[in-house]
Amino acid sequence: MDERARKTDVKLQGLARHLVADVNQKRNPSIAIPLRSLANVSFNERRKILELGDQKQARILFNVGMARKFMQTFLLGSACKELLEQGKTTSIRDLYYIAKHTLGDTRQNTFEEQDESDPIIEDLEVTIDALREELNLFASNKGAMVGPLTIVDSGDTIDLRRMGSGGWSVPSIVEENIVELKKSEAQFVLLVEKDAVWRRFNEDKFWQKHRCVLIHGGGQPPRGVRRMLRRLTTELKIPLYVLVDNDPWGFYIYSVVKQGSINLAYESVRMAVPQARFVGLSSFDQEKYDLPDNVTMKLKDEDERRAKQMLAYPWFQRKEWQRELQYMLKRGKKLELEALSNKRISFITEEYLPRKLKEGEGKGWLV
């Protein structure tokens, strides 16, 4: 077991020791699980991330409503301990199958469906304060990366300057023990919302000319990409620019990258990049770049609802953001990155983004 696995293992053992102590002292065994509901999530103004509060909930063994979940928590904890011991990683779907069995001669299964085991994994994460990646569990991997950077992944040295048109597929677990960041000449990181637009930037060798790490997450970036963004910005000490559609979904992607999400607030500290810079598309860009009206789309009802929600987010209270969101609502229109191709195919890489980067904060990008 490596150092990192040992640390997580110690936390899992702590949980078990606590249980044994309860039994020995003839107490009703219980564990205290931090609440993950909205009521226990708040925005830390100083750190600029979403955080979990101090509220906890007891999970008690001898309690009709809780016994099953109590059993499940320890079953999954034990399965993760085995993963750590074997040095193997797996998916949360796989873990569900690993831990599923029928109890004795009953017709009771330990888990009926995966939607029973997934929340227990999250309980386990917050209870012992370990990300699922530290429990050797991975999520889906979407996303690819290229740039003036060398990495070591599972012992293989990979030069991200020579990855062709495909790029390096960003794995779900990019913790330090698996992926190391080595020699870099990158000046910044550019996250592009869509793989198709990422490909435009790669084909035009934008990352070479502007010396940046070029990465996409296939829409809302998966955990591996978010964790990688966090590591790139903190370890290489370079800024992150986020390029998304001009619609509430694009803004939400930026918001999650920046502050974390309410559902997974406990991970923000390891994943969020509070200083992430938004380089558009801005609601003001149709006029700024003289784009015809026929490449815009009407905001849908759900878009409007989403935009109004975001107006109330604490991290969108700066007047630039209020202005941005209000103008989107006022226009009633949205705009995709691909719409810039209506000017010409490499407009986005040769004119749009270089101009925004040059204009700097306020005019070119927002924080």
Q: Output the smallest distance, CB 19 to a second copy, in A.
A: 25
* Residue 167 binds a second copy, judged by CB under 8 A: yes
Nearest residue to 218 (alpha-carbon basis) of 193, 246, 247, 238: 193
Task: Please identify, among the stretches 61-69, 86-94, 118-126, 353-361, the one whose residues bind a second copy according to the rule CB under 8 A.
Answer: 86-94
User: Please, are residues 73 and 60 in contact by the beta-carbon 8 Å criterion?
Assistant: no
DSSP-assigned letters across all residues of 211-252? TEEEEE-SSSPPHHHHHHHHHHHHHS---EEEE--BSHHHHH
* Residue 166 binds a second copy, judged by CB under 8 A: yes
User: Please, are residues 9 and 1 in contact by the beta-carbon 8 Å criterion?
Assistant: yes
- Among 19, 83, 244, 264, which residue sits at the site for a second copy (rule: CB under 8 A)? 83
- Among 141, 233, 268, 286, which residue sits at the site for a second copy (rule: CB under 8 A)? 141
Task: CB nearer to a second copy: give 29 or 219.
Answer: 219
Q: State which of positions 222-251 bind a second copy (CB under 8 A).
A: none
Nearest residue to 170 (alpha-carbon basis) of 140, 134, 142, 197: 142
* Residue 8 binds a second copy, judged by CB under 8 A: no
Point out the catalytic residue in the list 97, 241, 254, 327.
Answer: 97
Q: Output the smallest distance, CB 185 to a second copy, in A.
A: 17
Three-class SS of residue 151?
A: strand
Any bridge partners for residue 246, and if so which?
335
- Alpha helices per DSSP H over the chain: 3-24, 67-86, 92-99, 114-128, 195-203, 206-209, 223-235, 248-259, 268-271, 285-288, 301-311, 319-331, 347, 353-359
Task: CB nearer to a second copy: give 72 or 141.
Answer: 141
Q: Output the smallest distance, CB 349 to a second copy, in A.
A: 11
d(CA 250, CA 126) in angstroms, rounded, equals 28
Q: Output the smallest distance, CB 313 to a second copy, in A.
A: 29
What DSSP designation does 342 have?
G
Task: CB nearer to a second copy: give 202 or 233.
Answer: 202
d(CA 264, CA 346) in angstroms, rounded, equals 37
Count residues contacting a second copy (CB under 8 A)?
Answer: 59
Burial class of residue 334 (count of CB atoms within 10 Å of its CB; 0-12, 13-18, 19+): buried
Task: Please identify, among the stretches 121-129, 136-144, 261-269, 313-321, the one whose residues bind a second copy according to the rule CB under 8 A.
Answer: 136-144
Count of residues in the chain? 367
* Residue 182 binds a second copy, judged by CB under 8 A: no
Residue 313 known to be catalytic: no
- The set of catalytic residues is 97
Binding site for a second copy (CB under 8 A): 83, 86, 88-91, 93-94, 96-98, 100-102, 109, 138, 140-142, 144, 151-158, 162-173, 178-179, 195-196, 199-200, 203, 218, 292, 294-295, 336, 338-342, 345-346
